[in-house]
Structure 1
């Protein structure tokens, strides 16, 4: 199910990019042009079929984004990456934590083992 929603999400993203690029430019970047400062519509042009289609794609894109977020949150509920990395399989099939030793401090310079293996 997650893969299907992901594929639909990617198709919606590409379609949304395409419809935005196909729309006619209003000119005057960042809304600085157009309109006479008044009028019944407040300077906004009437919505076209292309702009309505863009809104529909945007709403569908947001819905699939929310759905993918909910699915991902449901899949990872109660688990952590640290929990999964710390598990070491045992002989009886269970999982045990790895042996961290007595100290959690990094090794000192007077320890026997070198920090970087030699190239010999």
Structure 2
């Protein structure tokens, strides 16, 4: 169904481009249509204007149809399904700390901050360029 709608959509696009290019240009270089033809100037303008409007409406309709078909064929998803559930703290764990490192983001950041505060700063290595005392 989707491939048939794509082919129809492409045919409408080509027809829309052709009808726009056939219209008489009022001051520019894009209009190919002009003098002599099977219709008078005013009749041709009415037909091309109406055809452009109809093709534009069909273009929007097929675009919406393709969007709806693409959305229907897509599996449903929710942002809630992608979030890992927060773990409950164990009974013997101190308050404010998760039972496992798989807690929420704020719990993980708090745990990292606690580890940094509780560990002593690393000892400064002696510089090989410093003169001995």
TM-score (norm: length of structure 2): 0.44
User: 1 or 2 for the larger relative contact order (CA 8 Å, sep ≥6)?
Assistant: 1
Pick the structure with greater CA Rg: 2
TM-score (norm: length of structure 1): 0.49
Higher helix share: 2
